[in-house]
Amino acid sequence: MRSFMEIDRPIATRELTFHRDGQEPETVVVTIGAPVASDGGDWQCPYAIQANSFTKSFRAFGVDSAQALIHTVCIISSELDALARRHGGEFRYFGNTDVGFPGPESLPKLASG
């Protein structure tokens, strides 16, 4: 199991609530870090999803800082969906189940040739 990855330079946060039947809502903080250049020339952008009962942290990659950031924002939606299934609940933002992160379907399609 991966250990939690600290984010040195957070650039964005969003506070959500996680709701399970019969339990009090739990505060969840989504944090996105600043993209950083990797040794190989690509860029990576860290993110974390933190609650008292679960934590997920990882990073997304891109050919430049913008692509790494876009990938991160879109991947968070899938991560939240997986965590909701795994922990038997749903995320909400201001009471809405649409928490405002675009999904992977929002990623630009690569040209095929």
Predicted confidence (pLDDT) per residue in 32-84, tens digit: 999 999 888 899 999 999 999 999 999 999 999 999 999 999 999 999 999 99
What pLDDT score was predicted for residue 113? 41
The pTM of the full predicted model, rounded to 2 decimals, is 0.86
Q: What is the mean pLDDT of the chain?
A: 89
Provide the percentage of residues in the chain whose pLDDT is more than 90: 79
Half-sphere exposure of 62 (CA within 13 A, CB side): 20
> CB-hemisphere CA count at 13 Å for 54?
18
Report which DSSP code applies to 67.
H
Q: Are 43 and 35 in contact (CB under 8 A)?
A: yes
pLDDT of residue 112: 42
- Please state the domain extents for the chain: 10-96
